[in-house]
Structure 1
Amino acid sequence: MISSCISDKSCIPLGTGRIEDYVEETVPTYTDPMFRAHFRMTRSSFEKLLLLIGPEISLTKTVSLERRTLACIWYLGNTETFRSVADRFGVSKGTLHLYLSKFTEVMQRHQILKNLISWPISDVEYTQISEKFSERAGFPNVVGALDGTYIPISGPTTFRDSYICRKGFPAMHLQAVCDSSLRFLDVFCGYPGSVHDSRVFRNSLLHDALQNLPGKYHLLGDSAYPLSNMLLTPFRDNGHLTSEQKKFNAAHSSTRVDIERSFGLLKGKLRKLKFLDMRKVEAIPGVVVTCCVLHNFILMNESFDEDMVEFERDENVNESGSETSEISERSAENLSGIEKRQEIMNLLG
């Protein structure tokens, strides 16, 4: 309605100058649904976030933790420019940069990160995660769905070609593993968009960590990744798949789809990830990881309303490429993966 837009300072057109007392006068008038729509979480969750990060941030007498945090979340949750967000919160662009730099640094500190993005380490955790995954299609012993997605960026002026992804735009690669509740268990960001999924995986800490995964458990990944005992990929469709192989692939796909839904929710809530226009490329991974931490924080602190975000297949989710060859699937290193995949195919059949 026109009347509600006029009375709501969040609807003020861009480029109209600084908004006076937005945090002090306007934000308190927001209803709970309005607050959640603007700041991507409920008031209750926001208050918990302040309690979480408060001890980690040194404050000045003139700037409240609430203002700093609201400004950062607004920036990450919308597609507005730095100038527009700075004007909304009554600060300069330089000050907003400082706010965001500190916020992302704090959100990645070990004390916070270990409670929000953590890899399962106990048999109890493995069992709980795998049982939830198996509810959908009966696929056994899955402890995570793995994939990569492109984070569109403006791109650097130097070495720009290395950031051009296969879809033709500059991007940074985000690799992630999620559970069936769409919560991230592991995230890894920083490689240019031109780098293939399998190479990013091989150079991530996750690759080494999986060496310690109990033998019966595994991740699910698409055919861009190398098949192994720890990472099961679908049968390659050469046009001659058996009915059992097709059934395996269908169960694999319907189970692994949670990582696509997780990326969809991440970019739906924290819309800045649809395009990060940041000059300092080295600062981008920190912003992306911070968004992943916020994603988990929100999921862990409030009931999930699936109607709030329209789940579509993430347009930038990486598809399989040519780097992973049939030869790699036949290598001795992956024989155990071939055997495990065959066993599960027989079980599902």
Structure 2
Amino acid sequence: MADVVQLGMEIVEDDESEVRVLCESRKNVADIVLLAMEIVEDDESDDEFDAELEAAFALAACKLLRADRNRVSGYFQNVTSRYFDFEFKKLFRLSRETCDLVCERFSRSSSYPKAVSGRRQISAEETILIALSYIGNRSSMNSVADRFDVTESSVVLCLRRVLDFLMDISDEVIAWPDDAELARSKTRFLSKSGGKGPRNTVGCTDGSHVEIAKPEDSTASYISRKKWPSIILQGICNDQNKFLDVFIEFPGSAHDARVLKESPFFAEATSKCGDDCILGDSAYPLLPWLSTPYRDNGSSFTSWKKKFNKYHSQQRVAIENTFGLVKQRFRRLYLIDVKSILQCCKIVMGACVLHNLCNAERDFMAELADNPHIDDVGNNDEDIGITSPAFSES
């Protein structure tokens, strides 16, 4: 027995390199703890000895668990380049070609420091991959840091630099199209409804809830109709699921019509749309540039109104599909667990910019093609009196 206790104490005192030899996996830790508990439960054992043994093995297990959570040495340098293209895209949510394009632009931007004295410089490519690992998946910053063999603070810094870069190019990437593209878009929208229904549609709009961690201030205003905290992503898209305008940061309790009215696009809509229109659901008001479905008021709801609503819906579904595509590609948008509302908004905006870059490069996710639907769009309930710093690109 004394030898076993001594072994436990030696494990506690060993450095981490020696601990890894003694314990190569968490399974070994479980075995050691199980052995300790069996000895402690032995009726013939001494109470004082049991206490010492239990303490020794508890300390040893803690040490082993800490040692077992080690970083992956050389992951970026030796592993990422060996991924097959489909593996790379599955992990980082962009194709290699699109990622190379983003890396090249990022390396020339003011967001990427050209030299840092006294420490290892994280390359532009590695910085982008670190940010994509966080935005594209639900991995914690801790696990991303372990994978890339960097500190958690380095992950935060890389994410901040990439988001700043994406914000800088957002005006270029998310922009209202020219007249020629608007004309082509009208034709394609009409084909979605079999040549019937609204004939001058150039876009669709709606709001989508992005779940966030519970904010410290004004908590009630962020609670959505689904009873969880969120911010609203208002988007306008074309027929090809490209964002034409994005407006973010209104709390989850806000009504869709309120968000639209407070957005920068509202003041510019008449000049941008001209004689054309965008489509919205019944949460929005009917305006010269905003077409909404007819309300079903019972016996006077005629068949031609029902048909119009059907064609209207066939065109308007593009915005729901767009939200579905961006959220399923960049899974962080299912829950952004950071405390800063501004940081949440930057992550959402960054995902929208990346979505448009992928769209422009025809970089689509095959597994999303048949299931782009998202079910958390819109907020038709009455909102409460709230104000919010708006965040938009158009």
Instruction: Give the structure-1-normalised TM-score.
Output: 0.84
Instruction: Mark the CA change 1:215 to 1:68 in structure 2 (over 3 Å): closer, same or farther.
Output: closer
Mark the structure with the bigger radius of gyration: 2
Aligned to 1:132: 188
Distance 1:309 1:96, change over 3 A: farther
**What stretches of structure 2 of length at least 5 have no aligned partner?**
1-67, 384-394
- Deviation of 1:184 (Å): 0.4
Q: CA deviation at 1:113?
A: 2.1
Distance 2:231 2:98 in 1: 29
In structure 2, the partner of 1:23 is: 76
Which residue of the partner structure matches residue 118 of structure 1? 175
Residue 39 of structure 1 deviates from its aligned partner by 1.0
1:82-93 pair list within 5 angstroms: 82-93=141-152
Is 1:68 paired with 2:127? yes
The more displaced of 66-75 and 151-160 is 151-160
Q: Secondary structure at the match of 2:202?
A: strand
Q: Which of 105, 119, 127 does residue 52 from structure 1 map onto?
A: 105
Distance in 2, matches of 1:45 and 1:282, equals 27
Of 332, 355, 365, the match for 1:295: 355
Query: Does 2:304 match 1:244?
Result: yes
Residues 97-246 of structure 1 aligned to structure 2 (within 5 Å): 97-109=156-168, 112-120=169-177, 122-137=178-193, 138=195, 139-240=198-299, 241-246=301-306
Contact 2:249 2:345 in 1 (8 A): yes
Q: Is the 8 A contact 1:23 1:67 kept in 2?
A: yes
Partners of 1:16 and 1:238 lie apart in 2 by 62
Q: Which AA in structure 1 matches 2:278?
A: L
2:91 alignment partner AA: H
The residue type paired with residue 90 of structure 2 is: A
Q: Per the alignment, do residues 321 and 88 of structure 1 end up closer, same or farther by CA in structure 2, a change over 3 Å counting?
A: same
Q: Which runs of 4+ in 1 moved over 4 A?
A: none
Corresponding position of 1:257: 317
TM-score by structure 2 length?
0.75
Cα RMSD, aligned residues only: 1.6
Give the gaps of 5 or more residues in structure 1.
1-14, 324-349
Structure 2 CA distance, aligned partners of 1:44 and 1:135?
Answer: 31
Q: How does 1:330-341 map to 2 (within 5 A)?
A: none
CA distance in 2, matches of 1:184, 1:141: 18
User: Residue in 2 aligned with 1:328?
Assistant: none
Q: Percent sequence identity over matched residues?
A: 34
Give the AA of the match of 2:98.
S
Moved more, 310-319 or 258-267: 310-319
Deviations 1:108-161 (A, max 9, x none): 11xx223311112x3212212211111111331111110000000012122111
Alpha carbons 1:118, 1:186 under 8 Å: kept: yes
